[in-house]
Amino acid sequence: MKALILVGGLGTRLRPLTINTPKAMLPVLNRPFMAHVVENLTQHGITEIIFTRGHLAGQMESYFNESYSSGIEFAFVDEAQPLGTAGGIKNCQSYLGNEAFFVLNGDVYANIDLTSMLRFHKEKGALATIALTPVANPSAFGLVETETDGRIRRFVEKPLPEEVTTDMINAGCYILEPEVLEFIKPATNVSIEKETFQLFLKDKQPFFGWSDRTSYWIDIGSCDKYIQLVADMLSGRCTCSTAPPPGVHLGEGTVVEPSARIEGHVVIGRHCRIGAGAEITGPAVIGDNCLTGDGAVISASILWDGCQVAGGSSVLDSVVAEKCCLSPGSRVSGSILADGVYVPSGAFLGNCRIWPGTIITN
């Protein structure tokens, strides 16, 4: 079966991390986010994946073409300008064939049982089935009201407080029959949530919601949610075949000085050095080729590849992207540093978002 993954968004709420890295490629446990999603799909018999591309798409194409040599085929379909969620699907029509296919929002990680969802879709004779998941506040999502048999009664994208009648939302995972494509105008920006789904309701099409109240589900569209997914994968709250068991994991060639202390759930990449007396407290991830100087402290943080955290400096509750350099005695707390940021000796960054390549001065 085929799956189409929508990866055309700009990831604006994840800036500055998404300025040089597309949302789908943000490192999660030192692998691109999308690699975890793809592994999950292969467990449900999906053998062909079509990415609808946009922002910084070349990075995805090279990663997937180099990392997977057999068993799964990838196609990458360009959008010269954003076509919206339905327009992006329509744009892939020639790749989709004449069988039902999955569509996934490219920023969602979920342990949805896609095999059971497909069975439900077939049993109902549905034109379209949406996976539904509960959230505390549906206002940032697509609210979905269903009848007792699962038929969708109402779909409200980003409901106002007075429109919130249920906690069930669109989980960003659909099964669509190929006839759905006839409802979408070609070469036009069309939203599946605001336009196509509304047409199904108006036409009384067999349009169903498949409720899943128990599986792990997250949309990593903001920095907080990205950090949360990493912590949940580390602790085992999000079970996933691509995550190691909870505990401390060191990559090949990494050297930890005997007096360093590593506690909690921590993943450290390859060829790193953790200096004498350094303290690493999970949930934390350190990328490949990172240097942590003597007495440095890293706690509840994510460091991407190639970072240097010099002696006596600290990183707390932060994300530090590729090749950042923290000088001796500097402190970073509650902050997001994009790639290549330089922090001078003794500086303190609290609750900041720093753009790529910034050289902080004292």
Per-residue binding string, ligand GDD, 173-202, x by CB under 6 A, is: --------------------x---------
- 247 is written with which tokens? 């505990």
Q: Which does 106 bind (CB under 5 to 8 A by kind): Mg ion, ligand GDD, none?
A: ligand GDD
Give me the least distance between CB of 196 and ligand GDD, in Å please: 11
269: closest CA among 289, 243, 296, 284? 289
Q: Is residue 157 within the footprint of ligand GDD (CB under 6 A)? A: yes
Give me the least distance between CB of 298 and ligand GDD, in Å please: 30
The helix, strand and coil proportions of the chain, stated in percent and rounded to the nearest 5, come to: 25, 30, 45
Spatial neighbors of 214 by CB under 8 A, at least 6 apart, are none
Q: Is residue 210 within the footprint of ligand GDD (CB under 6 A)? A: no
For residue 16, whether the previous peptide bond is cis, meaning omega lies within 30 degrees of 0, is yes
Q: Taking contact as CB under 6 A, which single stretch among the options 29-37, 105-113, 261-269, 281-289 is the one that binds ligand GDD? A: 105-113
Per-residue binding string, ligand GDD, 21-50, x by CB under 6 A, is: ------------------------------
Pairing of β 142-146 and β 128-134: unpaired
Q: By CB under 6 A, name the one of 6, 60, 152, 268 that touches ligand GDD.
A: 6
Q: By CB under 6 A, name the one of 25, 35, 108, 325 that touches ligand GDD.
A: 108
Lateral strand order in the sheet of 261-263: 261-263, 279-281, 297-299, 314-316, 331-333, 348-350
Pairing of β 142-146 and β 152-157: antiparallel
Spatial neighbors of 271 by CB under 8 A, at least 6 apart, are 251, 252, 253, 254, 288, 289
Closer of 176 and 272 to ligand GDD (Cβ):
176
Q: Which does 180 bind (CB under 5 to 8 A by kind): Mg ion, ligand GDD, none?
A: none
SS3 category, 138: helix
Task: List residues near ligand GDD by CB under 6 A.
Answer: 6-9, 52, 54, 79, 82-85, 88, 105-108, 141-142, 157, 169-170, 172, 193, 219, 221
